Amino acid sequence: MMSYFPHEKRAREPLSDLLSKSEISNGATIKVFKKKVTTRSDVDYSDEHCHLILPDSEANKDVKGAGHKGKQKFKVKEMYLTKLLSTKVAIHSVVEKLFRSIWSLPNNKAPVAIKYFFDFLDAQAESKKITDPDVVHIWKTNSLPLRFWVNILKNPQFVFDIKKTSHIDGCLSVIAQAFMDAFSLAEQTLGKEAPTNKLLYAKDIPHYKEEVKAYYKAIRDLPPLTTSEVEEFLTQESKKHENEFNENVALNEIYRYIAKYHEEIDSKLERERGFEDVQKQLRQVKALFDEKKKCKWI
């Protein structure tokens, strides 16, 4: 014979009274089950994974409401950093190869456009009697690495036919931040509360900074470009893209800029020496476009 005692109230009564009330005869076989005490965690999370987050936390409630139980956000920073370090080690050689391909000079020769522009910035610093090398460093950094390369690093879809997901975007932001830190002159002081993306490349940044300084110095030490070299470069580039641009539209945009800032540009050329011919040509161009504007050609 088998008997069950589902009510907790009866379990508190003496066993003899329970047996008599249940009309159990002598010699009967009794099978007793231990009551299983269930908790909220057993009921709600028996078939799910809980990723180091409290069941009653707000984040878990939000996830449950969205219909994605068991996919809670990973909130333990130390374990998260370990995963990031493993990923960094896996791609470290590729990232370094990318960085050094940007700030190195193949065959000890800089691209003509970069050499020309950096020499221009050096000349401007000299003419303005700026002796602090950090100022020129910042000029060059703002003009090329931060304005051009960082944009490409964070948005590779501008160059390649790829789809950038939100996950990839986060990874690229970490790499781009390391790239920017390599060109920064500020010393990093990192503590326990420092951002994870800063901690990942903390040991590499000092080496990168030295390589960047050597890169700027190598370009500065190269022989100056001649006028014929610059003209040849511009001619070749124009031929490469001669069918890609509308010259009339480009000229129109240049005219609008000249018309907007004509007084400032003209007065600046008036004060500078050696720009008399340039000033004369500029005035001729503006007069020509003004005449065409009267004819409603622009």
Cβ atoms 80, 195 nearer than 8 A: no
Domain coordinates in residue numbering, the chain: 1-35, 77-221, 245-294
Two structure tokens written together for 116: 């020309």
Tens digits of pLDDT across the chain (298 residues): 444 444 444 445 566 666 666 777 777 777 777 766 555 554 444 454 444 444 454 444 554 455 554 455 555 556 667 778 888 889 999 999 999 999 999 888 999 999 999 999 999 999 999 999 999 999 999 999 999 999 999 999 999 998 888 888 988 999 999 999 999 998 877 777 777 778 888 899 999 999 999 999 999 999 999 999 999 999 999 888 888 878 888 888 888 888 899 899 888 888 888 888 888 988 888 888 888 777 665 5
pTM: 0.62
What fold characterizes domain 77-221? GTPase Activation - p120GAP; domain 1 (1.10.506)
